[in-house]
Structure 1
Amino acid sequence: MDGGTPVFDVARIRQDFPILSQKVRGKDLVFLDSGASAQKPRQVIGAMTRMMETAYANVHRGAYHLSEAATEAYEAARRAVAGFLNAATEREVVFTNSSTAAINLVAHSYGRSVLRPGQAVLVSEMEHHANFVPWLMLRDSHGIELRVCRVTDDGELDLADLEAKLADGKVGLAAITHMSNVLGTVTPAERIARIVHAHSAKLLLDGSQAAVHRRVDVQALDCDFYVFTGHKLYGPTGIGVLWARLDLLERMPPFLGGGDMIEEVTLDSYRPAPVPAKFEAGTPPIIEAVGLHAAIDYVQNIGMAAIEAHERRLVDHAMRKLSAVEGLRLLGNAQDRGGVFAVSLPNAHSHDLATLLDRVGIAVRSGRHCAEPLHTRFEIESTCRASFGLYTTEGEIDYLAEALDKAREFFG
């Protein structure tokens, strides 16, 4: 600490990420697509390799050393996630293969067993398709109404519209992003929870982006469900997390049937295992759980406060630099935003712009970023998205701004 400011040495941190040292088309790699999937530090790569080399076996089922070691590693990952989220108990942590799978689990299990036809699910215009399509599917199969809360011109959640959509008491569940993957908007989650609960509805927060950039305390947020994914948090693909209040998980029926989720099976019946096992059918993502544990240890050793302070500096710097690029359109101007910037240039299709940036070593996303309703809301076909990680530097942002300015001249 220096005068209360968390210490953050980005140059040292970058040394932990082997991929960042490579060249792309003869240029230093400038990786600005961490919002899609973040790069992996040696600590995560090493933990997964050691697991495969020294302690791999299936979990929960073997009365031999390797299985016992693997089971302990898998359950240690669950405890790490519980600590990361400040869950009341590790039993509230369910491993899935992604945030998408976690939301689908809630939609199929809670949505079909607790919500009733005629009730409504409330989402927002800024949701990722993963927090939109499952509720459309529930609407079509189960008779649930889907309501959509507006987003303001600045990219904020319209809280007055949120209140209005809840007013008749028919909404059983609100499913809202904690941080937009396009606008960078960080939604006022605690305030949203108070509003939603005042109307006797439950709240699911999609933390796929937020959990990477902000300290998440599910008890302080007072939400009912929270989801995030490993691969955006510097961990591996193939593992996600559903956190839910224990009483809700105990009410919900299993989503998938098979091994490890049962207590007893007969020829004509089954009894599911206790929470969380009843939601983890089949062989789970064992190695991936170990990688997620290592990723959580990695960011916690750096300190989430230090990571957040670093990102705030990056966001302020990017706002100044990108706003100075003539003709550049930046989606969203929320008061509280993270390191996600969706931009467009006149006369330039997003794919062409991304290709041009790639020629100078800059990796950005192009398209609609699994958020078509949001792009429709802002009347734009597609955008290029630059998203930051803890290894992003101000110099890389400067380089991006210079490249965008040259691209503006190129496209005329």
Structure 2
Amino acid sequence: MLGLVLLAGVSVLFVTGLVSYAAYNPNLSRVNDTTPDKGLLGFYLFAWPTRPVWLYRLTQGVHVTLGLTLVPVLLAKLWSVVPRLFTLPPARSLAHALERLSLLLLVGGGLFEFTTGVLDIQLDYVFPGSFYPLHFYGAWVFFAAFLAHAALKLPTAVRALRERPDAGGGADSLVSPRPAPPTVSRRGAFGLVGGGSLLLFLTTAGQSLGGPLRRTALLAPRGPADPNGGPSGFQINKTAAYAGITPADTHEDAWRLVVTGRTGTVRLSRARLLQLPLHSASLPIACVEGWSTADQWWRGVRLRDLAALVGHDGAAPDVLVESLQRHGAFRRAALRADQVADPRSLLALYVNGEELSADHGHPARVIVPAAPGVLNTKWVARLTFGDLR
């Protein structure tokens, strides 16, 4: 039973993980690509859509919430499987050696993926290197080991299904000829695992689902509602201080938005931006760690209108967005033409009726429907349309 739950759950995790990677548009520009050496592993990539606006919130919320909920199931399954790694002799044949190797990679890959995932959710980056390539390549190792192990164990599984419940089996049988006395009943074991999964769901799911469950998301760093209160009282990952943004950088006398395109470059002050047609959109922010906000009311200049200022009057081009941020990942990000063209894609100047706060990206930030949070660049300094180098 635990194996079936893991099989279904891990399959969903693998698919939603691949979808999350596609949402970054890694094949659009190297600034978006955290795994430039992926080669054929990026065979499935597609242009990430902007509709529905809650798409990334859903897929990544499922990925993270399900992953956390499956932790007790994984631990229980490992408790029953790991002893087989230490049985002797270590290999009775080539097929048995391959089966043991696949099991080792399967167990190691599963532990690695769940551990790095949980650490990323908790914003605790104690592992070496970047989370993105580690988790991406780890997922493919785990999936390859899973396929190999399933293929190698298929004959044994078929034989086990044909055995009588009281029949003994050989060395590869799933039925033990001399089972040890149980230390816990089957019902008790399932209750313990199910209770642990339910507890993790209740204390983390609110960061993705919102609503009343947000108040119970005690184990989620971005779980509680209204962390600061007021119109700007919704979750963030990076503060202005962390990004190295100072008041001098964003002062109205110093800050200018540099927009470059087909006909040249224009420099726009915030006052000049406010003279352009302003539009509003109700959009959430959703991040790779699984947390998301409720819909916020953004107001600003459409990205496609800014593209038109520099000669892109027809079809909107791709755009490279650069931040004032001095360090950290995704200070530069690329957006596809369809994202630029969407009327809800804004260079936001206001949120929920007030000017953006420093931590939410003042004086201007990008907000794009259905895009991962890191592509909604804050403290925007430059927009380059049509050239993603």
> TM range, normalised to the smaller chain?
under 0.3
Structure with the larger RCO, 1 or 2 (CA within 8 Å, 6+ apart): 1
TM-score between the two structures when normalised by the length of structure 1: 0.24
Larger radius of gyration: 2
TM norm structure 2 = 0.25
